[in-house]
């Protein structure tokens, strides 16, 4: 997989989906955002933070930097608005990172070690694909937690994104 256009489109979608999710979360009562729930990541807030942390971890793997995260539930940013700002910054960082890569760099093998100690190797393109699919996976968890509130869950899948592009007059997703 060396198609930068495809990966760039995935990261544009991912950024949009994060924005939709954060917008919907911001409309929840604050106590619903941090309420402990029957889910491995404990709350909507911890789940949002987990997505940011994992992006930082994998970006570190791909750029040769380390991280200080000890658990999947580490929370370093206590304020929702600050977390949202960090999310937006990370989305821009990831999009710029994808744009900066050559086909050869996309094919390079990246060694990684997960928080739990499991290690492996994947192409940089697959690491990037993982970040987008991981985001979708956990936004699904967040959507499920909306079912425990009286609010409508976020709707942020790819067909909704395509419709939003079309309705806003933006170019469609590449073929």
Residue 170 domain-assigned (yes or no): no
Residue 121 domain-assigned (yes or no): yes
Residue 168 domain-assigned (yes or no): no
Q: Report pLDDT for 72.
A: 84
pTM, full prediction: 0.92
Q: The domain containing residue 143 runs over which residues?
A: 4-155
Residue 175 domain-assigned (yes or no): no
Q: Report pLDDT for 19.
A: 97
Q: How many domains does the chain have?
A: 1
Q: Report pLDDT for 169.
A: 92
Query: Cβ distance 11 to 94 under 8 Å?
Result: yes
CATH number of the domain enclosing 123: 1.20.120.450
Residue 14 domain-assigned (yes or no): yes
pLDDT tens track, the chain, 175 positions:
468 999 999 999 999 999 999 999 999 999 999 999 988 999 999 999 999 999 999 999 999 998 888 888 889 999 999 999 999 999 999 999 999 999 999 999 999 998 888 999 999 999 999 999 999 999 999 999 988 888 888 889 899 999 999 999 998 888 6
């Amino acid at each position: 997989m060396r198609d930068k256009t495809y990966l760039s489109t995935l990261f544009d979608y991912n950024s949009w989906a994060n924005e939709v999710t954060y917008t919907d979360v911001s409309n929840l009562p604050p106590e619903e955002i941090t309420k402990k729930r029957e889910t491995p990541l404990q709350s909507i807030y911890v789940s949002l933070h987990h997505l940011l942390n994992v992006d930082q971890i994998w970006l570190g793997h791909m750029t040769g930097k380390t991280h200080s995260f000890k658990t999947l539930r580490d929370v370093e940013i206590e304020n929702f608005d600050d977390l949202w700002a960090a999310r937006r910054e990370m989305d821009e960082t990831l999009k710029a990172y994808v744009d900066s890569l050559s086909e050869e760099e996309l094919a390079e093998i990246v060694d990684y070690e997960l928080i739990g100690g499991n290690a492996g190797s994947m192409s940089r393109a697959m690491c990037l694909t993982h970040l987008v699919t991981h985001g979708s996976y956990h936004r699904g968890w967040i959507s499920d937690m909306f079912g425990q509130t009286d609010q409508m869950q976020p709707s942020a899948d790819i067909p909704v994104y395509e419709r939003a592009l079309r309705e806003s007059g933006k170019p469609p997703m590449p073929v």
